[in-house]
Amino acid sequence: MSIEVRGLTKLYSEQRAVDDISFSIKSGEIVGFLGPNGAGKSTTMKMLTCFIEPSAGIAEVCGYNTIINPMDVKRQVGYLAEHNPLYLDMYVKEYLLFVAGIYGIKKDASTLVRNIIGNTGLFPEQNKKIGALSKGYRQRVGLAQAMLHNPKVLILDEPTSGLDPNQINDIRKLITEFGKDRTVMLSTHIMQEVEAMCDRIIIINKGKIVADDATGNLQKRFNSSLLLNVEFKNEVTKVQLKEIPGVQMVTENGRNRWKLAATKGSDLRELVFKFAVDTGNVILQQNEEEQRLEEIFQHLTKDIS
């Protein structure tokens, strides 16, 4: 097991930021750690990287306990903290050499730094000050310092937040490339990201794990309720639509466009067609929609009040 967490809890005075969570991540997995802001993602990651001590429970990385052997844990882990903190007044190359020095790399430091600069596409910016770089390049520097010492485990806290779509794509490619033979745990609240990159998803809400499954399974599990998008030619009312047998939820989606959610097992397409014929209406457009992870996420993390 690359990462093993048992009964991990973090208390901030009265508040339970992380509440008795347990999971384990096999080596080689790319795991998405998902949750709304304030769910406890960063706190969990900070405990895994020995930045803060857990109030209770055990966190292990590559078999090393974060409290008993923090130095061994730190050597195995490459960590990109939230907001990507960097020394803005240092030069890219200087900073990476400094990080190499901290990891105790002496002989091959310059080769390693040269390689990582090449791999992360920092070559054209390598002689600039970090403060002068754009956000995308800073993120690359952040990734470079996390991957420099070839860690077995990579922990990335919101690696793509605040980047433009092209930059997001580049960073994702980098992470997937690197994660081929290593363990990666990344947190995000962008769903497409985990769909695109992760083998497995752990969803956390209010400090508790609400789902932990392979990405495909999670999609399947919630696909039982199908969604249907319909566009009618003439006006219909919400009440009318609700009366169709098998319709569970109706949401208006623009002029004469409706989104219908079916109860389990019923095929709405036929019923909606019948409804249109009965009311003398015409269906202009109708398509089925798979429930995407985004909706699963919303479903799992919305307040149950």
Partner 1 sequence: MITLLIKEIRSFLSSLIAVIVIVVFLLAIGLFMWVFPDTNVLDYGYSNMDTLFSMAPFVFIFLISAITMRSYSEEKRMGTFESLVTKPISDLQIVLAKYLAGLFLVLFSLIPTLIYYYTIYQLGAPKGNIDSGAIWGSYIGLLLLGSCYVAIGLFSSSLTENQIIAFITSMFLCFFCFTAFDQISKLSLFSSIDYLLEWLGINYHYESISRGVLDTRDLVYFLSLTALFLGLTFKTSRKGI
Which residues in this chain contact partner 1 in the complex, by CB under 8 A? 46, 49-52, 71, 74-75, 77, 79, 81-83, 85-90, 94, 98-99, 101-104, 145
Q: Is the dihedral of CA 121, 125, 127, 128 positive or negative?
A: negative
In angstroms, the CA 79 to CA 45 distance is: 9
Residue 195's SS3 state is: helix
Q: Is the dihedral of CA 188, 194, 198, 201 positive or negative?
A: positive
Neighbour-count burial for 186-220, b at 16+ CB within 10 Å, e otherwise = bbbbebebbbebbbbbbbbbbbebbbbeebeebbe
As given in the structure block, the two tokens for residue 285 are 């457009």
Find the Cα–Cα–Cα–Cα dihedral 228, 234, 239, 245, rounded to 10°.
Answer: -50
H/E element holding 110?
Answer: helix 109-119
Integer-rounded Cα Rg, in Å, for the chain is 24
Instruction: Read off the amino acid at residue 242.
Output: K
Asked if residue 253 lies in contact with residue 238, where contact means CB atoms within 8 angstroms, the answer is: no
Which residues, in sequence order, are bridge partners of residue 186? Answer: 32, 156
Asked if residue 167 lies in contact with residue 188, where contact means CB atoms within 8 angstroms, the answer is: no
Residue 304 exposure: Cα atoms within 13 Å on the Cβ side: 6
As given in the structure block, the two tokens for residue 183 are 């363990």
